[in-house]
Amino acid sequence: MIDEELVRCRPCGYVMKESDLGDVCPACGLPRSVFEPYREKVSPKRLLILSLDIHPIAIHLSQTFVALIPLLIIFQMIFPDFYTTVVTSVINFSIFVLPLTLVLSFISGLLDGVTRFKTLRTPLLKSKIIFSSMVLVLGFGMWGTVLSGQSIWVTLIVSILALACAVKLGLLGKHLIDVILPGTYVRRKKKPTKYAPKAKAEGEVKPKINAAPKPKAENAEKPKAKSKDAQEE
């Protein structure tokens, strides 16, 4: 993705490799004439870190266990005779693995946040750090309840609290998925034309894609007006 020429659908913002572009935008279906050359606004190094998706992967792992633990405990309370040893093993395994995945999520989250926003001090990121710290504590707390032989009810309560924090974190993170990365913006000096201005700084982007546009006046014009970039100062 990094070394390829990228193009972006102006109306819907879909970004893809130029070489993969067919006759229409795969996301919104408008003709390829609405595409413009696109250059990632962040440095290749930042992009590389973000493109590894360590944080989302780690989160999915930990979410699995966070949800599984209270559900299995409740299940076992309702059906105590259903494969008791197996279910107990799965619960214990999940409780053992959870804090490890939480640590991975936490560290990758810090890395991701710093890479993405160049700071961790924004209100949203602070909330995420507070809630993820709580999940971490609760995750290790579950270890504690098992190791110290507490009643399963204590483990259940701790696991439900952890799940609640995880849900809150998911809701916080949801809003961050579509944010535009702060970087070296390529501002448009003139009124945007059908051809995007040449990108400056790190590597030129040739407006190859529009070299021979198939003009579909109506389709191409309307969305252009809506283009977010076009309205930027």
Instruction: List interacting residues with Zn ion (CB under 5 A).
Output: 9, 12, 14, 25, 27-28
DSSP string across 138-150: HHHHHHHHHHTT-
Tokens of 202: 């790190």
Least distance to Zn ion from the beta carbon of 9, Å? 3
CA distances, 102 to each of 111, 139, 209 (Å): 14, 8, 44
Are 102 and 135 a contacting pair, CB within 8 Å?
yes
Nearer to Zn ion by Cβ, of 12 and 71: the residue is 12
Nearer to Zn ion by Cβ, of 126 and 226: the residue is 226
Least distance to Zn ion from the beta carbon of 13, Å? 7
Nearer to Zn ion by Cβ, of 25 and 158: the residue is 25
Tokens of 151: 């009643």
Least distance to Zn ion from the beta carbon of 121, Å? 35
DSSP string across 195-233: SPPPP-SSS----GGGSS----HHHHHHHHHH-HHHH--
Nearer to Zn ion by Cβ, of 8 and 116: the residue is 8
Least distance to Zn ion from the beta carbon of 11, Å? 5
